[in-house]
Structure 1
């Protein structure tokens, strides 16, 4: 029987799972010293959130003694529990990366309690002391890279009107919009960012409509925070606008229109996790970092980026790498004129106030609700 087109979660359903499980003896795979499982909510070649993880998984495959197994398009339901159990029981996975936000609770938490000898790592920063100790969360301060993208966008825009296609007005998304805008204002104090929220993480039709609407209103540089930026990038380039990417390097989609972008750097982090896992201390249950920690990075500059923009962006990037930099500091007003950070106050990346950000800064045209 050919199992090549059957998903892992289906192998644990019905007699097919029982037959295969008996044949393999439900033993851990012996093909490698360490078997690692990656689970994606969408396609692993989406030029977005899922591809960023898949690129890192591909890097791990090149390491000796490592076997990587993957499954894509797994819903944020009990389907992911079946996938995790398959990876553990049929493939012998000892480290599992359920990468999507909705996989964490109750699904990953349930599996972590059921399999205490397996390590579970979730992307999103949701872990607390109440959760299983063999589970953890990690995430990156990608607003640092968005801040640098904003600098480049501010120098490049001829109209001073920037556009942001966003999924939902949650704190992480608002941080990215605000950081991008504050970066742009370093280059052009009069720059504005118009934001359109689509309502969900992957809505290609609405993302295309939002992109076209922004360009129709005079926006000439666009970026986004959605799972798959491909729609925004291709539509913007086709309309003659410039593009700043998100998640991964989008330059292949818009070679002439691409300026730079905010990327995840999981391919640098995951090998570190393997070393931590082998050490006495293990992987921290809650792990965060930005440019300095190599968890995020900035895309290479495109051909339309001026020397002035490159120089300024490189200087700011160097500051982040050397000693860190507070993006959010007072006096800072929101886009309704209210002071949200008082003069003399800085909000560092670990400041809990940033974790519950609910405002858009002055210069952003849009609403959070």
Structure 2
């Protein structure tokens, strides 16, 4: 169940920083910082992380003070932003994009007393934890829906960057779509951005021109959903529900629910029990949620729910063999499931996906 979240009341302060409210006189709150790759109003990835930040404020009140920096590019700007938070007394800092990994590690080494949490990365230290959602589980659910709902048998997919997280999602969606519809083809356009509504809209239009009547995405804005609504085709919400941008187009969504994790980790710092951990939460834990099924026949919705339930219970793994790599070489044997290490480093397409994976 999604936690209740109160409306953001903080106003922008110097250098684009927005402090949380609710401080009690004479009380030193824990300062919790967030670095976002996109704007909090992207209605996708950064929006959902900020919903989690607001949940911290609502839960802890004057025991915490939160700060966020938004639209921080991955690279040198990220390192400066993370250091800015560490230097200004933040005891817990969440860095919420894959490209923030190396900057996080460098700053963490300089501030060993600060606790850092990096989303979607794999490098850890005594004061650096990692966390992510098993988004590929959601991709399997919506991939099945896409395979059942397409009439053209062409599904369009907008990728951000060819990192394992995104490649893993494409493969999971394709495998599920092909099981539902053996005639399905995927057309993939790489936007090379996490958030750029214009580029995402161009990618959606390009896929429609190639015959796609269902669009999936691993980018952060609702631009593709808006285009799908305009063009009378189908799409899925990414990171958040996005229903309002395509009431007739949206079939379902993958929703990132960070609030419980953020509250748990903040509590650990307050209690003095925080340790460096690696968390990968999926449908079962509630970190990865599947949005309401809409605009589809009841039997398709029932099938999708059954897949989600099976993944949640552990009865089914989206990467269960037999599965070959794109070149036809064997990867997973009959009944074999992929281990987390392979999934975390996935750098190949599975058999049946056309086109070359950018390097």
Range class of TM-score, shorter chain? 0.7 to 0.9
Q: What are structure 1's unaligned runs of at least 5 residues? A: 10-28
How far residue 145 of structure 1 moved from its aligned partner, in angstroms, is 0.6
Q: TM-score, normalised by structure 2?
A: 0.86
Q: Are 1:143 and 2:143 an aligned pair?
A: no
Could you say which residue in structure 1 is the equivalent of 2:70? 72
Could you say which residue in structure 2 is the equivalent of 1:123? 119
Distance 1:320 1:204, change over 3 A: same
Q: What is the alpha-carbon distance in structure 1 between the residues aligned to residue 28 and residue 251 of structure 2?
A: 41
Q: What is the alpha-carbon distance in structure 2 between the residues aligned to residue 4 and residue 264 of structure 1?
A: 25
Alignment map for 1:209-220 (pairs within 5 Å): 209-220=202-213
Q: What is the alpha-carbon distance in structure 2 between the residues aligned to residue 8 and residue 204 of structure 1?
A: 22
Aligned-CA RMSD value: 2.4
Distance 1:32 1:315, change over 3 A: farther
Question: Match for 2:182 among 179, 189, 192?
Answer: 189
How far residue 345 of structure 1 moved from its aligned partner, in angstroms, is 2.2
How far residue 159 of structure 1 moved from its aligned partner, in angstroms, is 2.1
Q: What is the alpha-carbon distance in structure 1 between the residues aligned to residue 305 and residue 149 of structure 2?
A: 15
How far residue 324 of structure 1 moved from its aligned partner, in angstroms, is 5.2
Q: Report the secondary structure of 1:41's partner residue.
A: coil
Could you say which residue in structure 1 is the equivalent of 2:4? none
Question: Match for 1:265 among 257, 272, 277?
Answer: 257
Q: Summarize deviations over 1:281-322 as a string: whole Å, max 9, x none.
A: 5244322221112221111222x1221111111111112222
Q: What is the alpha-carbon distance in structure 2 between the residues aligned to residue 4 and residue 246 of structure 1?
A: 27
Q: Are 1:345 and 2:303 an aligned pair?
A: no
How far residue 51 of structure 1 moved from its aligned partner, in angstroms, is 1.2
The answer to whether the Cα contact below 8 Å between 2:92 and 2:269 also exists between their aligned partners in 1 is no
The answer to whether the Cα contact below 8 Å between 1:208 and 1:232 also exists between their aligned partners in 2 is yes
How many equivalent pairs are there? 339
Could you say which residue in structure 1 is the equivalent of 2:322? 331
Question: Match for 1:113 among 109, 115, 129?
Answer: 109
Instruction: Decide which structure has the larger Cα Rg and report it.
Output: 1
Q: What is the alpha-carbon distance in structure 2 between the residues aligned to residue 251 and residue 331 of structure 1?
A: 36
Q: Summarize deviations over 1:215-244 as a string: whole Å, max 9, x none.
A: 122211101112x23221111221111011
Q: Report the secondary structure of 2:33's partner residue.
A: strand
How far residue 177 of structure 1 moved from its aligned partner, in angstroms, is 0.7
Q: Report the secondary structure of 1:179's partner residue.
A: helix
Q: What is the alpha-carbon distance in structure 2 between the residues aligned to residue 362 and residue 82 of structure 1?
A: 42
Distance 1:63 1:320, change over 3 A: same
The answer to whether the Cα contact below 8 Å between 1:125 and 1:286 also exists between their aligned partners in 2 is no
How far residue 338 of structure 1 moved from its aligned partner, in angstroms, is 3.4
How far residue 89 of structure 1 moved from its aligned partner, in angstroms, is 4.4
The answer to whether the Cα contact below 8 Å between 1:292 and 1:324 also exists between their aligned partners in 2 is no
Distance 1:55 1:32, change over 3 A: farther
Q: Report the secondary structure of 1:176's partner residue.
A: helix
Q: What is the alpha-carbon distance in structure 2 between the residues aligned to residue 41 and residue 334 of structure 1?
A: 32
How far residue 30 of structure 1 moved from its aligned partner, in angstroms, is 5.8
Could you say which residue in structure 2 is the equivalent of 1:52? 48
How far residue 277 of structure 1 moved from its aligned partner, in angstroms, is 3.2
Q: Report the secondary structure of 2:302's partner residue.
A: helix
Q: Summarize deviations over 1:72-128 as a string: whole Å, max 9, x none.
A: 1223344444433443444x32111121222221x3223222222221111122224
Q: Report the secondary structure of 1:346's partner residue.
A: coil
Q: What is the alpha-carbon distance in structure 1 between the residues aligned to residue 260 and residue 278 of structure 2?
A: 17
Alignment map for 1:99-110 (pairs within 5 Å): 99-105=96-102, 107-110=103-106
Q: What is the alpha-carbon distance in structure 2 between the residues aligned to residue 256 and residue 30 of structure 1?
A: 52
Question: Match for 2:310 among 307, 315, 319?
Answer: 319
